[in-house]
Every structure is written in C-alpha cells, then in structure tokens.
A and B are shown apart, each in its own frame.
Chain A
Amino acid sequence: MGAFDPLITYEKGTYIETDTGNKVSRRAVIAGATNIILGGKSIIQSGAILRGDLRRATAGQHVVISMGRYCLIGENAVLRPPGKIYKGVFTFYPVKIADYVHIGPSCVIEAAQIGHGVEIGKGCILGKFVIIKDLVVLLPDTVLPEGTVVPSLTVWGGNPGRCIESLPETYQETVEARCKGYYQRFRPSPSPSSVPA
C-alpha cells in the first residue's frame, strides 16, 4: 500500500524534530507546552494551535493534551480541551488522543477522547466532550455537536454529523500503514545544492 504516494516535503528548518521523532512546526502555536504529551513520531504542522494552557484550576501537574504515536495535526487546526461548569466551578477536562490519529487542516477540536486510528477530514468541527472510539473516519466538513459518541468502525459526515457507513474489518491495518507511510514521507526538501540532476 502507498507504493506510489509522493513525498511530502517541508523546508528544512521550519520544523523542529524531537528525540522521539516528533516534528513540530516553528509556526505552530503551542501554549502551555509542559501540559502537552506527544507520544513520538507525531507531526504538528504550521499554523496549528494547541491550547495546553487551558488546564484545571486546581494546583498540581495536569496533563491537558496527550497524544499517541504517528499522529498528525494539520495546518491551522485548533485543539483545545473541553470545559464545563461542574459543581458551580468552571473546569477544563483533558483531551486524550490515541495512536494513528490524523486531524485534517482547519479543524476545531474540543473532543474529550479520540481513539486509535481515527481520520478527521479537513474543516471538521468537534464539539465539547465528543468521544470518538477506535477506527473512525470523519468526512471533510463534518460537524459533531457537543457530547456526540461515535462508535468504532464507522464513517460519519454532514452537519450535524451522522453515521453514513461502516468500515471493513481490515481498516486497522490500512490506517496504520497509511499513518506510518505519511510520517516516513514527511521529509525536509533537499537543499537546492544537493538536488540530483
């Protein structure tokens, strides 16, 4: 799979690569970086906004955004933790993102949980406390209202989002290969001097 997929290049120096293989754009806005955990080999593209500063009001260390491996936050996507009034006090709740999650460009995500192998198309809006189980596809421009639960192996689309069809049993392999492939193909563009003739 993916034998003919082209390389995805970026200008060298515009991304910072961490020890665990995360590639984070210098032009991404990352607030409260100490409250964000990246699992490794994840990509955060330019213009993305991660709101790690929206943490629980109580003292102590709180993880706001946790993300697994081989994830992708697309360009200009916004990821912020959901919040609500609980017992009269407004509190933020953490966002948990599992492995192999691709979030398309220009999405606004306020979900509580995104499962393993979830693909979110471009321009999706996920309301507060949305729960997405494993292996789900959200078509581009899907809008999920607050508190929607998306069961595993389904495709959702529309505004408000509805279940459109189910995915084949092989989808886990497909999505894992695709996410790994994307990470491997996401490389700095060769500098002009070293371009082979």
Chain B
Amino acid sequence: MSVLYNCPHLDQPHPPYPPSYPSSSSSFSPLSHLYFCEECDAIRCDQCVAVEVASYFCPNCLFDVPSANVRADRNKCARSCFACPLCKTSMAIQATETKSAEGSSVSGPPYLLVCPGCKWSSREIGWEFSKPTGLAHQLQKINTQQELVQSEFDALKDHLESYVSLSSTAPTYKSSSASRNPSRHISQLTQMAAKALHRDVPGMAASSARTRTRSLGFGVGKAGKEGPAEWDDLGEYKAKGSWKMIGLENGMQDVETMRELQETGGVGPAGLSSRWSNSWEADKMSKSMHPQRISLQTKSTKRCPDTGCRHLLIQPDAKGVRMKIKMVALNYVPSIELGRRKRRIQSGNLAQPTPEELERRRRDRRRVRGVVEEEDEDIRKRLQAGEVYNFQLAFTNPLYDPIQIRLTQPHQPKSAPTPNHLIFIPTQHFTVAALKDAWAYDDDEEEDDPMLGLEGSEGASEEGLGSVGKRSRLSALGSGSLRDKRGRDSGVDKKANTTKVGLEIEVLPGATGPVEFDLEVRYKYRADEPVHAEKEASGKEGASESIAGKEEYKTFTFWIRIKAGDVASA
C-alpha cells in the first residue's frame, strides 16, 4: 500500500507509462524524497538532481574536515576514529591500569583500542599507543612497510620508469613508416603508464618523497635503430629478494590457514564486509584484519538538473540539521494518502460479468450500482478477486491558499496490457482548504457557505473534463470556508486543510498480483505575485489565467501511482 509521485526526469510533463511497464517504476518516488524547482515549476527527484559535496565530516567524532585535507587523509578520519575489524563498531581508547606505589590503580600509557561491542583489543595485533590522541598519526609511523618490501618496490619502479620515460620522449623524432615500433605510436598510453607509476600506493612511501636519479642511459643507443628487436626494449628485472629465500615455512603457513578455514568467528576467514574495504592483497583470515580508520561522510548540496536553471534546491548548513535552502515537493504539492478500505457486500447477483459488460464499464468508468452495503476492512489485508472496494484518498494542502483539484485517470497506451481492476472516481473535482495555524481552523467550522455544497457532488464528474467551470472558481475566490454540508453523502470529507474523497476499485474476477494504477492530479492555486504577460508566455505550464481582475491562478499537473494492495491467490 503506497502512494508514489512521478518525476518527469527533466522531460516535459507527460503521463507516465502505466504500472504494467516495469520501466516506469524508476520515475516514481515517495513525496518526502522529492524536490521542487520553483524556477522550472517542476518536480525533481534524487535521481536527476545534480549533487555536489558541501562538506565532509567524520561520523564518529563529528569533526568537520576541511575539503583541502580530505584527499591527503584518503577520505578517512585522521584523528582517532577506528572501526573494529570484526564488527565495524567505532572503537574506544582504553588506558592501561597499573598499580601505583600506594596501591591505588592509576591509568596511563600504553593506550589500546578496544571495541565496546565485541571486546576485541588492539593488543592482539600489537598496537599500543603512547598518547591517547591522534592515533592515526601515531599509527602512520609504526605501520610503514618493512625495508625489504620498500626497497624491492623502489627498485622495480625505477626499472619500469626507465622504460616509460624512454618511450615517451621517442616521438620527438619521426621514424619512418617502415619501422613499426609500437612504443612510438602509443605515447599516450606510456604517458598514462608514467602517471600510474607515480601514483601513491597505500603503505609505500610516496614516489615524490624519494627522489631518485633516473638511469636514462639504459637502452638509449638502441632506440633510433630499426629492427624487430625494438618491439620490446624492456630489460630483464632482477629481483633483490627471492621467494626461494623465504623458504618452506611459507607452505606450513598455508597448511595452517587451510585448517583455520573450517573455523568461524575470530579465528576463521573474515567476512566479506570486513575484507571489502581492504587492499587487494589482504590476508583473508580474521586474525590478520586491522582496524580501519572510519570513512568520512558528506553533506551534499543539490541543484536543479536543468542546464538553464541550476538553482539550488538543497543547501545544508555546516552546523546542525537545518538547511539554508530547502526546496522540497512536500511544501508545494498536496500530499495524498490512501486509507479507510471498505468492501462492498455483494447482494444476490453474483453472476460473472460478460466481457462486453466489462468493456462497457471500462469505457464508462461508471459505478456498479444496486448495492449499498459496505463493511470496513483492514487495509493491510489482501484484496480478493471479484470484489469491489471503496477507499478514501486524503489530500492535504501545504499551501496558504485553497486549491482546486481535478482527479482523473491518465489514458493508457493502446498496446498496454489490460489492468486487473477497474477504477471509478466518484468525485473528480473538489477543493482543499488552505494551510493555517491550528487555532484558525476552529472558527471555520462555525461558518457555512451554502454555495460550496455544490462542490464535490457527483454531478461534477458527469460533466467531464471541461467543468473546472465557474462554480469551482467561485469557491476558490470565496475562500472563507470550505466546509461541505453534504460532504458525507457524496463521500467527500473536509477537515482543516485535508479533504478526503472516495475511490472505487473493482478487482476483476481472476485477477492476480498487485493492484496498481496511476492517477493524474491537476490542481489550481493562486500565484504568489501577479504574473506578467511575458513571463506567462515562457511559463512551462503556461496555464495561468486572469480571473476577477487581479487574481492570478496557475495550474500544476502531476501523476501519482497508487498501490492498493495485492490480490490474494485463490
């Protein structure tokens, strides 16, 4: 059971494809997730807005990280925030208790990281800190790679660098077409390779930190010559250390690992979620997992995606949850809810309707007459095929002016599969009162405007689409009270800034699956400032019209998708 709103995704407003087209679901979201651009007069959703990062913060210490530092900190908190390697809880810093000379316990260094959730302690991997602050910085000093790995890495890099820098300088002199030297033609690639070679590798000292003299002499003499030997002039790399030196004990480790694979928890293999954020070469066992610094989170600024607009829709405040700019659809578009399900009790005639009969009903969108008895039902219950249900739709107006609503069913494309239900909207035209302070509503209840009794009557629907006529306009002008005297008879129920109207759904015999349908909602509201002719012409909806001299009215159309429930399988 849900009511979702359509976002046109930058397109001109048009009826969405019916629910039978699964592709249409991507343009529907709950109202609370939608934005509204006043400039474009259009609904925007999370999928189409342009998102920019406004600020970075650590979700644990809530420190606002200046964006200049974020890259250097590798998008992680550079203070003392670590996540437990086993359960991902943020870890606490614990001092070691020692007995002092007087016998009372004194807490002091070394400090440990302890998980408050699973009690994992950094002592297990030998992490101990001398100060309780700036752990990430202290750790950086401890945790650089061993000399052997580092020197091997540097040597390999130098070796490759000589090759890359050589071939990237080559295109300066033209080689004849006869000499097919690949390295001449792929200078772009080699430049990219050079860039990649200079990229920082986690755990290794940055290349810029270790300036080395390039051994450019290597292979220069050969570069100008022609011949098949030049296809690859990379010399052989001699490793400093060899895997053979490590010896056979490595094999024993593997045996041990395999034995531990059977185990679970703190001994066995680590879960995928904890390995995911580690580097590629990580050990897969839980015991070799290290606490990771906590990733930073962002607050984002959202803009209208229209290239000619780019107006801010959301601008967060650095402090707190308030937004400096907040253009959300909730404040512009009436919110719609579905509720109060009633099942019509069939009296007598239970004969299956003929196909012609169904077709006629579909065309006419007419109510099935002759039955009156209804019983309330739990809205969460599954729908039964072949039953007629009465729902109520509640429209709540977020504007400070009353609005007039026209509720219709959008036309189905010709080739669309026939839906498993029929819909009848008894009241297609009605008004919703303005939003006011809570105490202001009480006075309204006293007043009574007999003219408004005409509104919401069933007659309105019979008149067809062109009936947003004089009557409804009058009601919008005489906005003093919108209470409907006859409301209950026609299923229209008005209270404060909410109007409830009826909606009939006939679930066809033999129906299965969800009962979903789209409705077109068109509402007319008073424009804030009188719209000038030029502006009017450029307006997207373009439907503003001048009524009673200076009053300006505008219309806005949107589509909603209602899921009334699932049909119980017989």
Pair A1/B335 contact, Cβ less than 8 Å: yes
For the complex formed, measure the closest distance between the CB of A98 and the CB atoms of chain B, giving whole angstroms: 11
Point out the residue from A4, A116, A134 that lies within 8 Å of B392, measured CB to CB.
A4
Q: A88-B104, A127-B116, A146-B116 are in contact. Are A3 and B339 (CB under 8 A)?
A: yes
Pair B62/A160 contact, Cβ less than 8 Å: no
Pair A160/B118 contact, Cβ less than 8 Å: yes
Pair A149/B59 contact, Cβ less than 8 Å: yes
For the complex formed, measure the closest distance between the CB of A160 and the CB atoms of chain B, giving whole angstroms: 4
- In the complex, per-residue mask of A126-158: 1 if CB is within 8 Å of any chain B CB, else 0: 010000011100000001011111011110000
A35 at the interface (CB under 8 A from B): no
Chain A residues with CB below 8 A from B90, complex form: 147-149
Pair A148/B116 contact, Cβ less than 8 Å: yes
Interface segment, A12-20, A62-70, A100-108, A163-171?
A163-171
Chain A residues with CB below 8 A from B320, complex form: 134, 152
Q: List residues of B (371-390) whose CB comes within 8 Å of A's CBs.
A: 379
Chain B residues with CB below 8 A from A153, complex form: 321
Pair A3/B59 contact, Cβ less than 8 Å: no
With the chains together, A123 CA to B328 CA distance in Å? 33
Pair A149/B60 contact, Cβ less than 8 Å: yes
Pair B328/A170 contact, Cβ less than 8 Å: yes
Chain B residues with CB below 8 A from A149, complex form: 59-62, 90
Q: A134-B320, A169-B328 are in contact. Are A3 and B117 (CB under 8 A)?
A: no
With the chains together, A66 CA to B416 CA distance in Å? 59
Interface size on B, residues (CB 8 A): 36
Q: List residues of B (296-341) whose CB comes within 8 Å of A's CBs.
A: 297, 314, 320-321, 323, 326, 328, 330, 335, 337-340
A187 at the interface (CB under 8 A from B): no
Pair A173/B62 contact, Cβ less than 8 Å: no
B32 at the interface (CB under 8 A from A): yes
For the complex formed, measure the closest distance between the CB of A108 and the CB atoms of chain B, giving whole angstroms: 16
B88 at the interface (CB under 8 A from A): yes
Chain A residues with CB below 8 A from B164, complex form: none
Chain B residues with CB below 8 A from A3, complex form: 337, 339, 394, 396, 498, 500
Pair A151/B330 contact, Cβ less than 8 Å: no
Chain B residues with CB below 8 A from A91, complex form: none
Chain A residues with CB below 8 A from B14, complex form: none
A9 at the interface (CB under 8 A from B): no
| CB nearest to A159 among chain B residues | B117
| CB nearest to B46 among chain A residues | A168
Interface centre among A133, A145, A153, A154 (most CB of B within 10 A): A145
| CB nearest to B58 among chain A residues | A151
With the chains together, A145 CA to B88 CA distance in Å? 11
Pair B321/A173 contact, Cβ less than 8 Å: no
Chain B residues with CB below 8 A from A168, complex form: 32-33, 328
B89 at the interface (CB under 8 A from A): yes
For the complex formed, measure the closest distance between the CB of A162 and the CB atoms of chain B, giving whole angstroms: 6
Q: List residues of B (111-128) whose CB comes within 8 Å of A's CBs.
A: 115-118
Pair B92/A146 contact, Cβ less than 8 Å: yes
Chain A residues with CB below 8 A from B116, complex form: 127, 145-148
Chain B residues with CB below 8 A from A162, complex form: 88
With the chains together, A116 CA to B320 CA distance in Å? 11
B87 at the interface (CB under 8 A from A): yes
- In the complex, per-residue mask of A156-195: 1 if CB is within 8 Å of any chain B CB, else 0: 0000101100001111111000000000000000000000
Chain B residues with CB below 8 A from A174, complex form: 32
| CB nearest to A4 among chain B residues | B339
Q: A1-B335, A3-B337, A3-B396 are in contact. Are A172 and B321 (CB under 8 A)?
A: yes
| CB nearest to B119 among chain A residues | A145
With the chains together, A92 CA to B403 CA distance in Å? 55
With the chains together, A152 CA to B379 CA distance in Å? 33
With the chains together, A127 CA to B92 CA distance in Å? 13
With the chains together, A166 CA to B326 CA distance in Å? 17
Chain A residues with CB below 8 A from B328, complex form: 168-170
- In the complex, per-residue mask of A19-62: 1 if CB is within 8 Å of any chain B CB, else 0: 00000000000000000000000000000000000000000000
Point out the residue from B33, B87, B104, B337 that lies within 8 Å of A1, measured CB to CB.
B337
Point out the residue from B104, B115, B321, B330 that lies within 8 Å of A152, measured CB to CB.
B321
- In the complex, per-residue mask of B335-368: 1 if CB is within 8 Å of any chain A CB, else 0: 1011110000000000000000000000000000
B57 at the interface (CB under 8 A from A): yes
For the complex formed, measure the closest distance between the CB of B99 and the CB atoms of chain A, giving whole angstroms: 13
| CB nearest to A167 among chain B residues | B32
With the chains together, A8 CA to B89 CA distance in Å? 37
A-binding residues in B (CB < 8 A): 32-33, 57, 59-62, 87-90, 92, 104, 115-118, 297, 314, 320-321, 323, 326, 328, 330, 335, 337-340, 379, 392, 394, 396, 498, 500
21 contacts between A and B (CB under 8 A): A3-B337, A3-B339, A3-B394, A3-B498, A4-B337, A4-B338, A4-B394, A133-B321, A134-B320, A135-B321, A145-B89, A145-B116, A148-B90, A149-B60, A151-B57, A152-B320, A152-B321, A160-B87, A169-B314, A170-B33, A174-B32
User: 3 smallest A-B Cβ distances: which pairs?
Assistant: A4-B339, A3-B394, A160-B117
